[in-house]
Structure 1
Amino acid sequence: MEGTIDGFRYGVVTPVAAYLMACLGGALGLRCIVRSLIDSGSFRAGWSALGAASIGCGIWTMHFIAMIGFRVRETRIGYHVGLTVLSLAVAVAVVGIGVFLVGRRGAGRGALPLAGAVTGLGVAAMHYLGMAAMRFNGSIEYNALLVALSVLIAVVAATAALWAAVTLRGFLSSLAASLVMGLAVSGMHYTAMAAVGVHVHGATSWAGDNPTSLLLPMLIGPVIFLLLAGVVVMFDPLLVLGDGEWNRPAPKEPAETSKRQVSRSWSGG
């Protein structure tokens, strides 16, 4: 029989919390990528890796916070731990590939679409791996059109995020980009969830653990990582300044000083 899906079990709490986590991961990631672009030293790869991990963790955390609010009324839901952790690894890895491509080749016509496509497909793969990790007394069916739309949104969102990472330098610009990125990623998630249909196998509820008891322990690690990444970012002066000292032109000498130098050169001393 068809299951009754409720995607907003706790009202607006889970969508808002999920959106904020996506924005936090995006904001930290974009600032770290900006830092990697202005750092020609040995820490450049570290900043890129931290940025990729921040964005990947933010997207993954957004997904599973939103999933806490998802339920099928006829059966309880559990999650396969291995597939859930694998989805996190996929999220971080594909964002890392996208960051590496645009970081090395810039936002050119060839590199940016390729990086956006790889990253967007990876984000979609993370989502559907997370869905495959669900365990309940039934099976999931998908609306192919909405699945395709969700993948398209993921690719567009990833391309826009990578473009912002290599183009925008100001703190406020990156902040605005992270808010848009969070909205796009959340939109991708809920579009994908709208494609879900559930067929329940019989009327007996599966006696599994509730999603909150399983997901909350797994969410602790990525959330702590994002908080630590935030501390690192806030204590780096170049990132706090945004368009700060490192991006300002050298100050011009006062007119009087210039005149004195000219007169000295003509007088020979």
Structure 2
Amino acid sequence: MAEINHFEYGWITPALSYALSVLGSILGLVCAGRIRIAGSAGQRALWGLLSAWALGGTAIWAMHFMAMLGFAVQGTRIRYDVPLTAASTVIAVVAVGIGLAIVGTGRLNPVRLVGGGIFTGVGVAAMHYTGMAAMRLKGSLGYDGTRVVLSVVIAIVAATVALWLAMTVRRPLAIVVSALVMGVAVNGMHFTGMSALSVHPHEGQEDVSGAGVTTLLVPIVLAVIFGVVGLVYALLAAPTADDRAAAAYLDGRRIPEPVAPAPAAAPDPVGLRARSTLGTPGTPFPSRRDMPPR
């Protein structure tokens, strides 16, 4: 078996991966909180999509790729299959989005929570092993079954806790603490799965094909930056519950504009108005009973 190093660049890559998972968890929890106060189904769907991107795309997938930058195998370079790498991103975002839809539709109960956690956890594990299958190197990959199962269990537990936090946590301090815990869980799942990996080198194999780390790093970093900026902008631009309550209060205190009264007719005690119509073409001559009394 080839020698594997999970920390080729020291503690820089795991520190950055943990920071990404915490940042994505904070944004995801805040966006998930907006789902509960959304005023329409369209707004709930939008905040659910943003939360899925923050949790699945940043806290899970970007963390996974950043940690993979420190992965090295002695005697071979590592390349990545771009379609499989992109597929792992889609798997992570879709799995989290469906999990949020399961727990966020209707009243939260243990059945929904466990079902959403299992679906999301299995999806996160599928993302992880799809991303590892996208590696191209001079050798074949092997896995320890016990550690693979353990990583899937960790993913399910972490996903269940994350979904519960997304539906219940509201205060800023609680969100930050929850994000720190979620970061530990996500990184724990990743490195547990990586510890199950073994590489059996193939002697005489031609050089591997695929995209290098530096080729993928720039678009991934740009996607993370623009994604985070977009999420922050969406959160700052959207009205909060306090804003809507203040607007409703002002609407209730607004005094309606007075309606202008209709102009009153001038008094006509001697019938001058009726007499003024005499002689007008088309006006019938009044009879005696129509004449005003003298």
The TM-score, its normalising length taken from structure 2, stands at 0.78
**CA separation in 1, counterparts of 2:211 and 2:96?**
30
Q: Summarize the alignment of residues 1-269 of structure 1 with structure 2, pairs less than 5 Å apart.
A: 2-41=1-40, 42-58=42-58, 59-202=60-203, 206=207, 208=209, 211-219=212-220, 220-236=222-238, 238=240
Note the C-alpha offset of 1:236.
Answer: 4.0
CA contact (8 A) 2:79 2:208 kept: no
CA contact (8 A) 1:17 1:65 kept: yes
SS in 1 for 2:110: coil
The verdict on how the C-alpha distance between 1:146 and 1:218 changes in structure 2, with shifts beyond 3 A counting, is farther
The structure whose residues are more often helix, as a share, is 1
- Give the number of the structure whose alpha-carbon radius of gyration is greater: 2
Q: Which blocks of at least 5 consecutive residues in structure 2 are unaligned?
A: 246-294
The Cα offsets for residues 168-203 of structure 1, whole Å up to 9 and x where unpaired, read as 111211121111111100000000000010001016
Q: After alignment, is 181-190 or 218-227 more displaced?
A: 218-227
**CA separation in 2, counterparts of 1:60 and 1:26?**
12
Q: What is the identity, as a one-letter code, of the residue corresponding to 1:112? A: L
Match in the other structure for 1:258: none
Note the C-alpha offset of 1:246.
Answer: 7.7
SS in 1 for 2:16: helix
CA contact (8 A) 1:75 1:205 kept: no
Note the C-alpha offset of 1:213.
Answer: 1.5
Match in the other structure for 2:274: none
CA contact (8 A) 2:52 2:96 kept: yes
The verdict on how the C-alpha distance between 1:156 and 1:28 changes in structure 2, with shifts beyond 3 A counting, is same
The Cα offsets for residues 80-139 of structure 1, whole Å up to 9 and x where unpaired, read as 000000000000001000000111034301100000000000000000000010011111
**CA separation in 2, counterparts of 1:218 and 1:10?**
21
**CA separation in 2, counterparts of 1:214 and 1:185?**
25
Note the C-alpha offset of 1:207.
Answer: 5.2
Match in the other structure for 1:261: none
Match in the other structure for 2:254: none
**CA separation in 2, counterparts of 1:106 and 1:78?**
46
SS in 1 for 2:132: helix
Q: What is the identity, as a one-letter code, of the residue corresponding to 1:24? A: L
* Residue-pair matches, total: 243
Q: What is the identity, as a one-letter code, of the residue corresponding to 1:181? A: M
Q: Which blocks of at least 5 consecutive residues in structure 1 are unaligned?
A: 248-269
Note the C-alpha offset of 1:206.
Answer: 2.9
SS in 1 for 2:63: helix
The TM-score, its normalising length taken from structure 1, stands at 0.84
CA contact (8 A) 2:78 2:136 kept: yes
The Cα offsets for residues 128-176 of structure 1, whole Å up to 9 and x where unpaired, read as 0000100111111001111111001100000000000111111211121
**CA separation in 2, counterparts of 1:231 and 1:29?**
14
Q: Whose relative contact order is higher, 1 or 2, with alpha carbons under 8 Å and at least 6 apart?
A: 1
CA contact (8 A) 1:120 1:159 kept: yes
**CA separation in 2, counterparts of 1:105 and 1:112?**
12
SS in 2 for 1:110: helix
SS in 1 for 2:76: coil
